[in-house]
Amino acid sequence: MSAKHGQRPQRPTTFLGRLRTDVRGNTLMIVAFAMMPLIAMVGSGLDMARAYVARDRLQQACDAGSLAARRLLSGTTLTPAVETEATNYFNFNFPQASFGTAAFTPVVTVPSIGTVKITAATTIPTTVMKLFGFSNLNLSTSCSATQDFVGTDIMLVLDMSGSMNCPTNRPNDACGEIEQYGSKMQALRDASESLYDTLQSAQDQLHANNLRLRYGFVPYNATVNVGKLVYAENPNYIRSSAPYQSRTITTTWNGAYATYGQLTLDTSSFKTGALVNTPGSYPTSKSRWAGCIEERQTDNVTIDGGSATTAPASAWDLDVNMLPTADSSRWAPWWPEAEFNSSTGSQYTESKYCASAASRLKEYYNDKPSFMSYINNLKPLGGTYHDIGVIWGARFISADGIFASATPETNDQNDPDNPKKLRGFSVRKYMIFMTDGDLSPYLNVYTTYGAEERDKRVLGTSAGNATQLAAEQLQRHLQRFRVACNAAKSQGIQLYVIAFSTTLTADMQNCATTPAMASGITTAPALIAKFQEIGSKIGSLRINQ
C-alpha cells in the first residue's frame, strides 16, 4: 500500500526488501572494484621490471658468448669447439633457470665471413599478472660479434738516432754509438715482438681468408734510407744528375787552397751500386751509395710562416703522393763524400750516418724470424729529424703515391703495392711513430736537406748568428713536422705517437689522430705494454648488433 500524502513511507519488512533499499557500504564496494585494474597495473609493472632485468642479463650473456666464439673462429666454418665456447660463455653469464626462466639452448651460427651470431629464446614466469591469465612472458635476444676481415697495413716509423743506444735511465747524450745494456733499442725489440704476437691471430685469420696484414718500417735519424726501394719501384724517381756543396782542392792537401761552391755531379752510376769516385776528395777514393736520399724541392717561405696546417703546392718534399716527373721532383742520392765543413776543411760532422734501410710493406705470415731479424739489425746512430720520418712513413703506406697499386681495387693477396681496396673492402692503415727525443736539426751537418748552412733549403734567407739560425731552423722543422703529420692523417692513416723516455710534447700529441693515441712512456715494460695495447686495438673484436 502506498503512503498517503504527508505520511512517512513504511520500511520494507522482508530481508530482500531491506537489502534492496540499504545504501550503506556502497563506497567500499566501488573502491574494491576500482582496485582491480590498479592492482593489475602495479603487478604488471613489477613483472615487466623483472623481465627487463632478465632480458638485459640475457643480452650480456649473448654478447659475451659471441665475442668468445669469434676469438676462436677461423675461416667460415662453425666448428664444435666454437659452438661449445659460445655456449659455455653464454651459460656462465646467464645460468639455466635464472629468474625462473624456462630451459633453452642458445643457437650459434656463422652467417658471414668473420661473424658469429647467437640467438636465444625463453620464457619467464609472472607473479601478479598470473592472476589475470598471463602466466609467462617471452624473452629473446640476438647478437653478433665480428672482426672485420679487411686488409690491414701497419707502418712503424722509428727514431734510430744514437740516443736509442742509451738505457732509459741515462741522459741521451751519455751514450756513444755502442749499445748499452738495458738500452731503449732492446726495449723496442721486445715491444715490436709483443706487437707481432698480439696480432698473430688476426694475421692468420686474414691470410686464411685471402687477405693480409702487412708491416713496413721507416727508421730515421737525420736521413732516411729509402733510395734503393724507390729506385726498384721506378729508376726514374732517382736523379741521374744532382747539385752538391763541394770543396775543390786546387793544390796538394798540405796547404791546399780551397774554393767552395755548388758542384753538379753525374749520379747515374750511384744508383746502380757501382763503385764511384769520391767527388772533391783528395786523394781520390771510391765508395758506393748507401741508399739515403736528399729531399726534393721545398718551399722555405710559405710553409715556414708558422701557421700553415697543410703544405703549399710548391713544397714537393711534403707532398706524400706527388709522382716525380722532372729532376726538381725527383730525389738525389745522399752523397756525404761530396760535403766538407767550411770552417775546418773536414767532411761534415756525422756525414757518414746514413740511417738503416727502410722496408716496404710486406706480409710476415708465419714468419716471425724475418720480422724480428729486421728489427734486430737496426742500428741507432746520428741525429733526429721527425719531419722526414713522418713524410716517408706516409709515402710508404699511401695508396695514391709512388707505391700505388696498378689495380686500385684488387683481389690479389700478393700485390706488392698499395691498393685502395682488397677484395672489395678499403684497406685499413695505421702508423706507429716512436721517438726517444726532441727534434734536433743541424746547421753544419749533412742531412736529407743537404748542408743547411750552405743550401738553406729550410732556412731560406734567414739571417743571424749561429745561435739565432739554429733556433729559427728548429722552429721551421717543427712546423714541417706538424704539416707532415696532417699530410699523413689526410691519407686516412690512424696515427699513434709514442714518446719513449722523453717528454710528450704538444706537437707530438697533436700529431696523433686523437689525444688518446699519443703516449708518454718511461720504462721498457710500459713500452711493451703500449705496443700490446695498440695491437689489441688494431685487431680488436666488436659487437655489431
3-state secondary structure of 445: coil
Confidence of residue 340 (pLDDT cuts 50, 70, 90): very low
Cα separations in angstroms, 80 against 69, 73, 87, 103, 205: 11, 11, 10, 21, 18
pLDDT given for residue 242 in this prediction: 87
Residue 111 in contact with residue 144, Cβ under 8 Å? yes
pLDDT given for residue 49 in this prediction: 81
Range among 89-103, 174-188, 238-252 with highest mean pLDDT value: 89-103
Q: Which long-range contacts (CB under 8 A, 24 or more apart) does 473-477 make?
A: 473/441, 473/443, 474/439, 474/440, 474/441, 475/304, 475/306, 476/300, 476/304, 477/385, 477/386, 477/387, 477/439, 477/441
25 pLDDT exceeds 70? Answer: no
543 pLDDT exceeds 70? Answer: no
Show Cβ contacts of residue 442 under 8 Å, excluding neighbours closer than 6 positions. 222, 349, 350, 383, 452
Give the least confident one: 16-25, 167-176, 188-197, 411-420.
Answer: 16-25
Confidence of residue 303 (pLDDT cuts 50, 70, 90): confident
Angle in degrees, CA 495, 498, 502, rounded to 5: 150
347 pLDDT exceeds 50? Answer: no
pLDDT given for residue 341 in this prediction: 43
531 pLDDT exceeds 60? Answer: yes
Three cell numbers written together for 249: 782542392
Confidence of residue 349 (pLDDT cuts 50, 70, 90): very low
Instruction: Tell me where in the chain the CATH 3.40.50.410 domain(s) lie.
Output: 152-239+299-329+347-419+436-540
Confidence of residue 348 (pLDDT cuts 50, 70, 90): very low
- Strands 359-363, 213-220: parallel, antiparallel or unpaired by DSSP? antiparallel
Confidence of residue 396 (pLDDT cuts 50, 70, 90): very high
User: Which is more confident, 450 or 407?
Assistant: 407
Q: What is the C-alpha to C-alpha distance for residues 428 and 214, in angstroms, rounded to an integer? A: 10
Q: Is 325 exposed, middle or buried (0-12, 13-18, 19+ CB in 10 A)?
A: exposed
The whole-number average pLDDT for the span 381-387 is: 92
pLDDT given for residue 323 in this prediction: 96
pLDDT given for residue 351 in this prediction: 47
User: Which is more confident, 296 or 33?
Assistant: 296
43 pLDDT exceeds 60? Answer: no
The whole-number average pLDDT for the span 464-477 is: 90
pLDDT given for residue 292 in this prediction: 93
pLDDT given for residue 342 in this prediction: 43
437 pLDDT exceeds 50? Answer: yes
Q: What are phi and psi of 124, to 5 degrees?
A: -125, 130
User: Which is more confident, 301 or 338?
Assistant: 301
3-state secondary structure of 543: strand
217 pLDDT exceeds 70? Answer: yes
Confidence of residue 488 (pLDDT cuts 50, 70, 90): very high
Q: What are phi and psi of 233, to 5 degrees?
A: -70, -45
3-state secondary structure of 26: helix
What one-character DSSP code corresponds to residue 345? S
Give the least confident one: 62-66, 320-324, 447-451.
Answer: 447-451
Mean model confidence pLDDT for the chain? 83
74 pLDDT exceeds 70? Answer: no
Residue among 60, 130, 42, 43 nearest 98 (CA): 60
pLDDT given for residue 259 in this prediction: 57
CATH number of 152-239+299-329+347-419+436-540: 3.40.50.410
pLDDT given for residue 522 in this prediction: 93
User: Which is more confident, 192 or 537?
Assistant: 192
369 pLDDT exceeds 90? Answer: yes
Confidence of residue 94 (pLDDT cuts 50, 70, 90): very high
The model scores a pTM over 0.85: no
